[in-house]
Amino acid sequence: MDEKYFPEQIENKWQQRWSETGAFEARENDSRPRFYALEMLPYPSGFLHMGHVRNYAIGDALAWFKRLQGFNVMHPIGWDSFGQPAEQAAIKRGVNPRDWTEENIVHMRGQLQRLGISYDWSREIAAHRPEYYKWDQWFFLKMLERGLAYKKVSQVNWCPKEQTVLSNEQSSGGICWRCGTPVEKRDLEQWFLRITDYAEQLVADMKQIEAGWPEKVLKRQSDWVGRSEGAFIDFAVKDSDKKIRVFTTRIDTIYGATAVVLSAEHPLLPELLKDSALKSDVETFAEKVRNEKAIRTDLAEEVEKEGLNTGVLAINPFSGDTLPVWVANYVLLEYGTGAVMSVPAHDERDFEFAQKYSLPIRQVIAPATHDQLRSEPVATTAGDSSAEMKHSFTDYGVLINSGEWGGKPSDVAIKEMAAHAQQNGFGEAAVTYRIRDWGVSRQRFWGAPVPVIYCDNCGMVPVPYDQLPVVLPQTAAFTGTGESPLAGVAEFVNTTCANCNGPARRETDTMDTFVDSSWYFFRYLDPQNTNAPFDPEIAKQWTPVDQYIGGDSHAVMHLIYTRFWNKFMRDIGMVSFDEPVKRLLTQGMVTNRVGDTDEWKAMSKSLGNGVDPDEMIAAFGADAARLFVLFAAPVENELRWSDTGIEGAVRFLRRVYTMIWKWQQRLATGGGEPPATEFSSEARTLRRKTHQTIAKITSDFEQLHLNTSVAALMELFNQLSDFNADPARASDADVFAVREALEALVVMLTPFSPHIAEEMWEGLGHPGGLLAEARRWPIADPELARREELEIPVQVNGKLRSRVIAAPDVSEDDLRAAALADDRVRSLIDGHEVVKVIVVPRRLVNIVIKS
Residues in 260-289 that interact with RNA by CB under 7 A = 263
Amino acid letter, 1 = M
Amino acid letter, 696 = K
> Given candidates 50, 58, 117, 556, which one binds RNA under the rule CB under 7 A?
556
Burial of 595 (C-beta count, 10 Å sphere; 0-12/13-18/19+): exposed
Q: For residues 603 and 42, what is the distance between their CA atoms, to the nearest angstrom?
A: 16
User: Is the CA virtual torsion 534, 537, 541, 546 positive or negative?
Assistant: positive
Q: How many CA atoms lie within 13 A of 849 on its CB side?
A: 17
Element (H, E) at 495: strand 494-496
Nearer to RNA, 241 or 598 (CB): 598
> Smallest gap, in angstroms, from Cβ of residue 627 to RNA?
10
Site string for RNA, 593-632 (x = CB under 7 A): --------------------------------------xx
> Smallest gap, in angstroms, from Cβ of residue 605 to RNA?
20
Q: For residues 285 and 303, what is the distance between their CA atoms, to the nearest angstrom?
A: 15
Nearer to RNA, 653 or 683 (CB): 653
> Smallest gap, in angstroms, from Cβ of residue 342 to RNA?
8
> Smallest gap, in angstroms, from Cβ of residue 261 to RNA?
8
DSSP annotation string for 207-223: HHHTTTS-HHHHHHHHH
Tell me: does residue 297 bind RNA (CB under 7 A).
no
> Smallest gap, in angstroms, from Cβ of residue 125 to RNA?
30
Q: Which stretch binds RNA (CB under 7 A): 273-281, 461-469, 605-613, 648-656?
A: 648-656
Smallest Cα–Cα separation from 158: which of 441, 385, 359?
441
The total number of residues shown for the chain amounts to 851
> Smallest gap, in angstroms, from Cβ of residue 238 to RNA?
22
Q: Interface residues for RNA in 4-63 (CB under 7 A)?
A: none
Nearer to RNA, 468 or 713 (CB): 713
> Smallest gap, in angstroms, from Cβ of residue 832 to RNA?
13
Q: For residues 552 and 235, what is the distance between their CA atoms, to the nearest angstrom?
A: 44
> Given candidates 645, 727, 765, 769, which one binds RNA under the rule CB under 7 A?
645
Phi and psi based region of residue 810 (left: phi greater than 0; alpha: psi -120 to 50; beta: remaining) = beta
DSSP annotation string for 770-801: TTSSS--S----HHHHS-SSEEEEEEETTEEE
Tell me: does residue 216 bind RNA (CB under 7 A).
yes
Q: Which stretch binds RNA (CB under 7 A): 64-72, 81-89, 334-342, 525-533?
A: 334-342
> Smallest gap, in angstroms, from Cβ of residue 165 to RNA?
18
> Given candidates 113, 181, 249, 355, which one binds RNA under the rule CB under 7 A?
249
Q: For residues 312 and 325, what is the distance between their CA atoms, to the nearest angstrom?
A: 5
Number of other residues whose CB lies within 10 A of the CB of residue 413:
26
Q: At what angle do helices 97-115 and 622-631 cross, to 10 degrees?
A: 80
Q: For residues 36 and 647, what is the distance between their CA atoms, to the nearest angstrom?
A: 33
> Given candidates 721, 805, 807, 826, which one binds RNA under the rule CB under 7 A?
721
> Smallest gap, in angstroms, from Cβ of residue 15 to RNA?
25
Q: Which stretch binds RNA (CB under 7 A): 172-180, 234-242, 417-425, 730-738?
A: 172-180
Tell me: does residue 691 bind RNA (CB under 7 A).
no
Q: Which stretch binds RNA (CB under 7 A): 76-84, 121-129, 150-158, 840-848?
A: 840-848
Q: CB of 626 within 8 A of CB of 757? A: no
Q: CB of 477 within 8 A of CB of 467? A: no
> Smallest gap, in angstroms, from Cβ of residue 233 to RNA?
10
Q: Interface residues for RNA in 818-837 (CB under 7 A)?
A: 836
> Given candidates 294, 295, 303, 668, which one binds RNA under the rule CB under 7 A?
303
Q: At what angle do helices 7-21 and 613-620 cross, to 10 degrees?
A: 110
Burial of 424 (C-beta count, 10 Å sphere; 0-12/13-18/19+): exposed
User: Is the CA virtual torsion 11, 12, 18, 22 positive or negative?
Assistant: positive
DSSP annotation string for 9-26: HHHHHHHHHHHHHTTT--
Tell me: does residue 647 bind RNA (CB under 7 A).
yes
Peptide bond into 544 cis (omega under 30): yes
Nearer to RNA, 139 or 438 (CB): 438
Nearer to RNA, 279 or 640 (CB): 640
Tell me: does residue 294 bind RNA (CB under 7 A).
no
> Given candidates 80, 347, 507, 743, which one binds RNA under the rule CB under 7 A?
347
Q: Interface residues for RNA in 349-388 (CB under 7 A)?
A: 349
Q: Which stretch binds RNA (CB under 7 A): 118-126, 226-234, 379-387, 611-619?
A: 226-234
Phi and psi based region of residue 648 (left: phi greater than 0; alpha: psi -120 to 50; beta: remaining) = alpha
For residue 429, what are the β-bridge partners?
Answer: 231
Site string for RNA, 412-441 (x = CB under 7 A): --------------------x-x-------
Size of the site for RNA (CB under 7 A): 78
Nearer to RNA, 334 or 404 (CB): 334
Element (H, E) at 521: helix 520-523
Nearer to RNA, 412 or 602 (CB): 602
> Smallest gap, in angstroms, from Cβ of residue 428 to RNA?
14
Q: Interface residues for RNA in 459-478 (CB under 7 A)?
A: none
Tell me: does residue 3 bind RNA (CB under 7 A).
no
> Given candidates 684, 803, 816, 832, which one binds RNA under the rule CB under 7 A?
803
> Given candidates 340, 486, 569, 616, which one binds RNA under the rule CB under 7 A?
340
Tell me: does residue 214 bind RNA (CB under 7 A).
no
Q: Which stretch binds RNA (CB under 7 A): 444-452, 513-521, 742-750, 838-846?
A: 838-846
- Kindly list the strands in the beta sheet with 639-640, ordered across the sheet, starting from the edge strand earlier in the chain: 600-602, 590-593, 639-640
Tell me: does residue 800 bind RNA (CB under 7 A).
yes
Q: Interface residues for RNA in 734-793 (CB under 7 A)?
A: 791, 793
Q: For residues 108 and 113, what is the distance between their CA atoms, to the nearest angstrom?
A: 8
Smallest Cα–Cα separation from 165: which of 510, 681, 473?
510
Site string for RNA, 699-718 (x = CB under 7 A): ------x-xx-xx--xx--x
Classified as helix, coil or strand, 406 is: coil
CA 180 to chain centre: 20
Q: For residues 821 and 824, what is the distance between their CA atoms, to the nearest angstrom?
A: 9
> Given candidates 210, 287, 638, 809, which one binds RNA under the rule CB under 7 A?
638
Tell me: does residue 228 bind RNA (CB under 7 A).
yes
Q: Interface residues for RNA in 174-213 (CB under 7 A)?
A: 174
Q: Which stretch binds RNA (CB under 7 A): 31-39, 76-84, 669-677, 797-805?
A: 797-805
> Given candidates 655, 662, 766, 816, which one binds RNA under the rule CB under 7 A?
655
Number of other residues whose CB lies within 10 A of the CB of residue 711:
15
> Given candidates 305, 687, 689, 776, which one binds RNA under the rule CB under 7 A?
305
Q: CB of 739 within 8 A of CB of 707? A: no
> Given candidates 47, 335, 396, 454, which one binds RNA under the rule CB under 7 A?
335
Classified as helix, coil or strand, 40 is: coil
Tell me: does residue 173 bind RNA (CB under 7 A).
yes
Tell me: does residue 651 bind RNA (CB under 7 A).
yes
Residue 752 — φ and ψ, nearest 5°? Answer: -95, -45
Tell me: does residue 519 bind RNA (CB under 7 A).
no
Show Cβ contacts of residue 176 under 8 Å, excluding neighbours closer than 6 positions.
Answer: 159, 161, 162, 166, 170, 182, 183
Nearer to RNA, 34 or 640 (CB): 640
Tell me: does residue 248 bind RNA (CB under 7 A).
yes
Give the largest Cα separation in the chain, rounded: 110
